[in-house]
Structures are given as C-alpha cells and as structure tokens.
Amino acid sequence: MKNPLDSLWGTVISGLVLTLVLYMIVKFALQ
C-alpha cells in the first residue's frame, strides 16, 4: 500500500480525517 504522505492530497486528506477523529473523541469526552 502506498504511503498517503507521499502525495500532497494524501497528506491533506489524512489531516482532515485525523481532525474528524480527534473532534469526535473530544466531543464524546465532553458529554
């Protein structure tokens, strides 16, 4: 499997996915 960080789009999409995951975790922890 290709490393997503090898492409700029892969890097940006990975960052957006990570943002969503962390947001959900924090949102859940705050409930």
Residues that bind other proteins (CB under 8 A): 3, 5-6, 8, 11-12, 14-16, 18-19, 22-23, 26-27, 29-30
Kindly give, in sequence order, each residue whose CB lies less than 8 Å from that of residue 5, ignoring residues fewer than 6 positions away: 11, 14
Nearest Cα residue to 15 out of 24, 4, 26: 4
Minimum CB separation from other proteins for residue 26, in Å? 5
Minimum CB separation from other proteins for residue 1, in Å? 15
Minimum CB separation from other proteins for residue 25, in Å? 8
Q: How far apart are CA 13 and CA 16, in angstroms?
A: 5
